A and B are shown apart, each in its own frame.
Chain A
Amino acid sequence: MTSGRQDEHEASALVGTICAEGVRRTGTDGGGVSVVSSQGVPVLVHTTDSVASDLGDLQFTLGEGPSVEAVRSGTSVLVPDLGDAATAGRRWPGLLPEVHGLGVAALFAFPLNVAGVPLGTLDLYRRTPGELDAAELAAGLSTGAAVGNALIRAEQNGDRSLDYPMTVHRAAGMVMVQLGTGISEALLMLRATAFLEGANITAIATDVLDGNRRFGREDA
């Protein structure tokens, strides 16, 4: 039990350390942590690099992918070869060309299960295809559990060090006014635009916030 004032960056530093260790022990190249809201909306709270960020945004844009499935099922979704059209290609047709562009060949999504609640996912990627061996799989599962526990402790301690990026949601609020629609349509518009332009959704949202991009009623 800790006493006295805590380091104000404790939770974010801890999650970062756990993830870095998880990447190392699974032989992957990087990863990210997403927390899912009570309405099933994923928010990327930590990534080890920009590829992991792009992967997170990509699955948000498409609304499909291993991470999305991992949360829904509460079990790990392991994709050792994203280039395998027969399996991965059939499951997530929209995902494959995009992850190719990111140089990602394998993706492993572990749910953050806390006392039976699927809190989110730990998503680890590799640039080369190949399965996780038994030790790596165990490391992935235990890292997911450790991240889940760290998030719960952070919530219990009132730790506000974790950054829950809200750029896309803020932009969606603006876009709903620009389009004259509801929030769902606005989010869909942002996602569709990102998909069609092959762009990162956070980047598009940032343009909207900066006033460099507007959507008009003609886009609705």
Chain B
Amino acid sequence: MTDTESGPHLPPSGRDAQLAQRFVGLADTLVDDFDLAELLDHLVQTCVELLDVATAGLLLVGGNGRLHPVAASTEATRVLELFQLQNDEGPCLACVRTGSVVAVPDITATTERWPRFSRAAIANGFVSVHALPMRLRQETIGSLNLFNTEPPTLSEDDRRIAQALADVATIGILQQRSLQRASQVAEQLQQALTSRILIEQAKGMLSEHAGIDMATAFARLRHYARGHHLTLGDVSASLIQGSLPPASLVPPPTD
């Protein structure tokens, strides 16, 4: 996390105090009921309110690998379209691909590199843009776009602060995704165990009913499941619950 102090031993300026409060607020959205939209909105609003930034937007990489605008400091449609088209070209895409800051202090210089983007940006009155990576180690999950309408563009201080805000948000997003994955796997494991228990109970039932050993009972279960396009778990559940008579599985049908 970058240092946000403006200098050693100086009393905190009004902005520093506000920034500190914003960081706390940002961290606050990460606990309890995590609300991604709230987190990202908080991030872009902080950028335009406390930094020398006219408009801020955030794009995240979606499941299909494409960039999706997920938060913006403005509702202006034309600006939103500017974010949208960055899926195909522009500083955001370059930022996500490289995992590094893409600084464009003069958008008019990029008309060849990003023709559609630069045209739309200039039409919106933007003179500069900085794309900061939302990145943790080797994983870049999106980009924070900061636009300005007049020079000076983005100061080094402001860039470091914005990056720090983006870093906090990135960690929160990744932690949340990790938790979701883990709880899904946990439930999967427990469902698999329920299935396994049913299958073993069904083996015992079939074995005793038909006077066959467990291996043969299992083979009969599998054979029936395949023949009827059912899972082993479903066949076992039906047997145990009594909706499928064991006689249906024994003896095996002649093919």
Residues of chain A whose beta carbon lies under 8 Å from any beta carbon of chain B: 35-39, 41, 43, 114-117, 119, 148, 151-152, 155-156, 164, 166, 169-178, 182-183, 209
Shortest B101–chain A CB gap in Å is 27
B194 touches A41 (CB 8 A): yes
- Top 6 A-B pairs, shortest CB-CB distance: A173-B204, A115-B183, A173-B205, A166-B200, A117-B186, A174-B208
Give chain B residues whose Cβ lies under 8 Å from the Cβ of A171.
Answer: 204
A178 touches B183 (CB 8 A): no
Closest residue on chain B to residue A172 by CB atoms? B201
Shortest A157–chain B CB gap in Å is 10
Give chain A residues whose Cβ lies under 8 Å from the Cβ of B183.
Answer: 114-117
Cβ of B242 < 8 Å from any Cβ of A? yes
> A114-B183, A115-B179, A170-B201 provided; 14 other pairs, C-beta below 8 A?
A36-B190, A37-B190, A38-B191, A114-B182, A115-B183, A152-B182, A169-B204, A171-B204, A172-B204, A176-B204, A177-B209, A182-B242, A183-B240, A209-B204
Shortest A164–chain B CB gap in Å is 6
Give chain B residues whose Cβ lies under 8 Å from the Cβ of A183.
Answer: 201, 205, 240
Residues of chain B whose beta carbon lies under 8 Å from any beta carbon of chain A: 179-180, 182-183, 185-194, 196-197, 200-209, 214, 240, 242
Q: Interface residues of B: mostly helix, strand, loop or mixed?
A: helix
* A/B pair count, beta carbons within 8 Å: 99
- Among B190, B196, B203, residue most surrounded by chain A Cβ atoms (within 10 Å): B190
B189 touches A115 (CB 8 A): no
Q: Assess A156 versus B197: contact at CB under 8 Å? Given A36-B190, A119-B190, A177-B209.
A: no
B205 touches A177 (CB 8 A): yes
In the assembled complex, 23 residue pairs joining A and B whose CB atoms fall closer than 8 Å, in A order, are: A35-B193, A36-B190, A37-B190, A37-B191, A38-B190, A39-B194, A41-B197, A117-B186, A117-B187, A117-B190, A155-B189, A155-B192, A166-B196, A166-B197, A166-B200, A172-B201, A173-B201, A173-B204, A173-B206, A173-B207, A174-B205, A174-B207, A182-B240
